[in-house]
Structure 1
Amino acid sequence: MSRKYFLPLFLLFQLIGLKILTLFPEFIETYYTNGLYHYISHFSRTIFGKIPFSVGDLIYTSVIAWIIVWFYKKRKENWKRKVFAAVNFISIFYFLFNLLWALNYYRVPLYQKLDIKTDYTDEQLISFTKKLILKTNEIHFQITKDTAQKVINQLDKESIFKTALNGYGNLSTNYSYLKYEIPSQKKSLISFFLSYMGFGGYLNPFTNEAQVNSEIPNYTFPATLCHEMAHQIGFGSESECNFIGFMASTKNENLYFKYAGYTLALRYCLNNIGYKNERLYNDLRKTVNPGVFKNYKESEAFHKAHETFINTFFEAFYDNFLKLNQQKDGLLSYSKFVDLMVNYYQNRDL
C-alpha cells in the first residue's frame, strides 16, 4: 500500500473504531477517563497551568494562520494533492483530539452515575423553579441589599480563578470523581473573537487549559469558569458540564459564585416554562427580584451587541459538532441540564 493512503485509511479506521467504542461506555470510563486521560490531563495542566497566558490560544492562532498561508501557496496545485493533504491533516488532528480529551464524550452518562432519571413532569419543573426563585432572590438580596439593583461582581478574574477551587473542593467530598486538581484556568487571548463567535469559554483539548472569555458580563464569569473546569475533569456533555458547573458554583461559600450558579439555572428553567406556558412564565417572573432581570438584560445586551453573520455561522457549526459527538440535541444540549437539576433536587435542598 502506498504511504499516501495511510493517513486517509487511518481516519476511516478511527471513525469506525469510535462507533464501536460508543457501545462500551464502561470501558471508556475505566480505562480512558479514569486511566489514560487522568494522567494526560494532569501532565498537561502541570506543564501549561503555570504559564500566565493561554498557550492553547497561541497554538490555535498559529495553526489557523499556517492553514491560510498553506492554502494560498498551494492554490495553483493539483486539487487532488490538496485534498490528500487536507485529509492527512484532519486524520492527525482527529487522532490527537480524541486521544487527549474527546473520548470522554463516550463515557458513562452522569445521570447513571448519580442514579437519577432524566425526565420530569411540568409540575416538578414548576415546583423546582419556585424553590430556585426563592434561593436566587435570597442570594441577590444578601449581595445588593436592594431588590431593584443588579449584582456587580467585585471580584477580579484572578480571584475568581482561585475561589472556584473551593466549590469543587466542597463538591468532591460527596463525589470523588468531581475532584479538581492542578489548576489551569486562563483568560482567553482571543476573547474579542469568542464574543463574536458566541462562546463564553472553551476547553482547549490539546493543552487542557480552561479558557474563559474575559469580555462576558462579570456576574456570569464564575459559572462559565466552573463549566469549563468540568470539561477539564473529563466531562464532554454540555448539559453535564452545566449541571456540574451549577453545583460547583452553588457549593461555593462565595456569594458571587452562588449568584452566578442560581441565575444560570433560573434562566434556563424560566425559559423552559415560558416555551410551554407564557402566562405562567409571566406570573413567575413577577416573583423574581427586579435586579436579577437587570443582570439578565446585561447579558442579553452583550450578546446582541456581538450578533453578526459570524455568530450565526459558528452556532450552526458548533450545533453540528455537538451532534456528531454524542449530543444529538446540538446546542439545545446546554438546556438539558434542567433535566438533571429537577431530578437531582427532588429530595435534596438547594
Structure 2
Amino acid sequence: MKILTFFPEFIEKCYTNGLYIYISHFSRTLFGWIPFSFGDIIYTLVIIWIIIWFYKHRKENWKQKTIAALNFISVFYFFFNLLWALNYYRVPLYQKLNIKTDYTDEQLITFTKKLIAKTNEVHLQITKDSTKKVESPFAKDDVFKTALIGYKNLSDEYSYFKYEIPSQKKSLISYFLSYMGFGGYLNPFTNEAQVNSEIPMYAFPATLCHEMAHQIGFGSESECNFIGFMSATKNDNLYFKYAGYTFALRYCLNNIGFKNEKLYDDLKKTVHPGIFENYKESEAFHKAHETFVNTFFEAFYDNFLKLNQQKDGLQSYSKFVDILINYYKTKEL
C-alpha cells in the first residue's frame, strides 16, 4: 500500500477510472434498489459473529486468538482497499482542477464576505424573514432524488463528477452514529451512501452530497466537502443551495475565528440571525450526543484518516476551504 502512494497516476488511470467503475456500478446495481441499508445489516451480523467467536474461543491460547484476529483484519483490509479505499491514493483534486491550495488571510476574508452575502440571499428567499431559521419541507426520501439534480448539473461542467446508479440510504444505525459523531458514511463493501437520519434536516442535503462524492471515487474528506458543496449549490432547489452555503460559511467563519476573534465577531453581525438559529440547532444536536463514545471515535477516526493519506486527520475536513477560495478566485459564487 505504501508503494502505491508513489504512483497516483497509475491509481487514477487503472483503478479509479478503470476497475473501480465496474466494482462500484456492480455494487450499486446489486444493493441500490433495496429500500433499507443492507450494509448496516452486514456490519451488525459481523459484530455479532465476532462477539460469539471470542466467547467460544475465550479459553484458547491467546497467541492462537491473536493470529486468528490478524487473519480476519488482513482479509478485511484487503477487501476494504480493493473495493474502494485505493481511491485515497489517486491524483489530488486540486491538480485536476489546476488550482493552488494556499491562500492569504485577505483572500479568506474576501471570500467569506461573498459567501455571507450569498447565504443571506438564499436564506431570505426561503424564509422572507432574516430572523427565522430554515425549516426544510423535505421528506428524506425526496432529498435522495433531488440530490441527483445537483450532480447532473455539476457533471455537465466536469465529467469526472458524473453520478450513476443511485444507492443512497438512511442508516439503520443512525442512533449509534449520532453518539459516534458521524453525520453519515460510505459503506465500502456495498457502496451505499449512508446518512444519519437524526441530524438536523437543514443540513441533511449537504451531508448526503458529501457521501455521494465518496461513491464516485473520492477518498479525501476535504475533496468530498468541496464536491458536496458544489453539487448542493448547483442544485436547482433552494434548500440544497442553503445547505451547501451554510456548510461552507461555517468552516470559513471558524477559520477566521481561530486567527482573529474580533474580525469574526464583526463578520458574524453581517450574517442573518436565522442562519445562526440553524447553527444552534446543529450545536444542540451534537451536544446532546456528546459522550466518551464520541471522544473515542473522534480519536480513532482522526488516526484512521492520518493512516490513509490525510495527514491532518479530522482537520482535513476544513481543508476544503483551501480548494474553495482558489477555485472561486476567478468565478462567481
TM normalised by structure 1 equals: 0.95
Rounded Cα–Cα distance in structure 1 between residues aligned with 2:118 and 2:55: 56
Deviation at 1:84, TM superposition (A): 0.7
Aligned pair partner of 2:271 in 288, 291, 307: 288
Aligned pair partner of 1:237 in 193, 215, 220: 220
Aligned pair partner of 1:253 in 216, 228, 236: 236
Q: Secondary structure at the match of 2:193?
A: strand
Rounded Cα–Cα distance in structure 1 between residues aligned with 2:52 and 2:274: 49
Q: Which residue of 2 aligns with 1:81?
A: 64
Deviations 1:13-42 (A, max 9, x none): xxxxx1110000000000000000000000
Aligned pair partner of 2:316 in 319, 333, 341: 333
Rounded Cα–Cα distance in structure 1 between residues aligned with 2:250 and 2:269: 14
Deviation at 1:150, TM superposition (A): 0.2
Q: Which residue of 2 aligns with 1:27?
A: 10
Rounded Cα–Cα distance in structure 2 between residues aligned with 1:271 and 1:232: 28
Q: Which residue of 2 aligns with 1:272?
A: 255
Rounded Cα–Cα distance in structure 2 between residues aligned with 1:73 and 1:142: 61
Q: Which residue of 2 aligns with 1:152?
A: 135
Q: Report the number of matched residues.
A: 333
2:117 aligned with 1:134: yes
Kindly provide the amino acid, as one letter, of the partner of residue 74 in structure 1: H
Rounded Cα–Cα distance in structure 2 between residues aligned with 1:91 and 1:169: 38
2:22 aligned with 1:39: yes
Q: Counterparts of 1:81-230 in structure 2 under 5 Å? A: 81-230=64-213
Rounded Cα–Cα distance in structure 2 between residues aligned with 1:65 and 1:280: 51
Rounded Cα–Cα distance in structure 2 between residues aligned with 1:329 and 1:58: 32
Q: Secondary structure at the match of 1:173?
A: helix
Q: Secondary structure at the match of 2:91?
A: coil
Q: Secondary structure at the match of 1:219?
A: helix
Rounded Cα–Cα distance in structure 2 between residues aligned with 1:118 and 1:110: 10
Rounded Cα–Cα distance in structure 2 between residues aligned with 1:54 and 1:74: 31
Deviation at 1:111, TM superposition (A): 0.2
Deviation at 1:171, TM superposition (A): 0.2
Deviation at 1:72, TM superposition (A): 1.4
Q: Which residue of 2 aligns with 1:62?
A: 45
Q: Secondary structure at the match of 1:119?
A: coil
Q: Percent identity?
A: 81
Kindly provide the amino acid, as one letter, of the partner of residue 307 in structure 1: E
Q: Which residue of 2 aligns with 1:314?
A: 297
Aligned pair partner of 1:48 in 26, 31, 34: 31
Rounded Cα–Cα distance in structure 1 between residues aligned with 2:301 and 2:56: 29
Kindly provide the amino acid, as one letter, of the partner of residue 330 in structure 1: G
Kindly provide the amino acid, as one letter, of the partner of residue 160 in structure 2: Y
Kindly provide the amino acid, as one letter, of the partner of residue 143 in structure 1: I
Deviation at 1:45, TM superposition (A): 0.2
Deviation at 1:174, TM superposition (A): 1.1
Superposed CA RMSD: 0.4
Rounded Cα–Cα distance in structure 2 between residues aligned with 1:66 and 1:152: 42
Kindly provide the amino acid, as one letter, of the partner of residue 43 in structure 1: F
Aligned pair partner of 2:246 in 255, 263, 270: 263
Deviations 1:244-271 (A, max 9, x none): 0000000001000000000000000000
Deviation at 1:68, TM superposition (A): 1.1
Rounded Cα–Cα distance in structure 2 between residues aligned with 1:254 and 1:68: 46
Rounded Cα–Cα distance in structure 2 between residues aligned with 1:35 and 1:151: 42
2:301 aligned with 1:346: no
Deviation at 1:65, TM superposition (A): 1.0
Q: Which runs of 5+ in 1 are unaligned?
A: 1-17
Q: Secondary structure at the match of 1:220?
A: helix
TM normalised by structure 2 equals: 1.00
2:269 aligned with 1:301: no
Rounded Cα–Cα distance in structure 2 between residues aligned with 1:135 and 1:289: 11
Rounded Cα–Cα distance in structure 1 between residues aligned with 2:306 and 2:57: 32
Rounded Cα–Cα distance in structure 2 between residues aligned with 1:71 and 1:267: 44
Kindly provide the amino acid, as one letter, of the partner of residue 236 in structure 1: G
